[in-house]
Amino acid sequence: MNKDISSIRKDYTKLSLDVNDVDKNPINTFNKWFDEALKSEVLEPNAMSLATVDKNGIPANRIVLLKEVDKGFVFYTNYQSDKGRELEHNPVASINFFWPELERQVRIQGYVEKVSEEMSTKYFQSRPKESQIGAWTSPQSSAIKNRAILEQREAELIKKFEKDSVLPKPKQWGGYRVNPFHIEFWQGRPSRLHDRISYTLIDNKWKINRLAP
Task: Dihedral sign for Cα 54, 60, 65, 70, please.
Answer: positive
Written as one letter, the residue type at 131 is: S
Residues 189, 192, 196, 210: which is the catalytic one?
192
* Active-site residue flag, 192: yes
Which residues are within 8 A (CB) of 119 and not within 5 positions of it... i.e. 6 or more apart? 175
Question: Smallest Cα–Cα separation from 186: which of 108, 112, 83?
Answer: 108
Residue 25, number of CB atoms within 10 A of its CB: 11
Length of the chain: 213
**Phi, psi angles (nearest 5°) of residue 36:** -70, -35
The count of C-alpha atoms lying within 13 angstroms of the C-alpha of 104, restricted to the half-sphere facing its C-beta, is 24
> What dihedral do alpha carbons 132, 141, 67, 131 form, nearest 10°?
-20
Secondary structure element (H or E) that encloses residue 201, with its range: strand 195-202
Active-site positions read 192
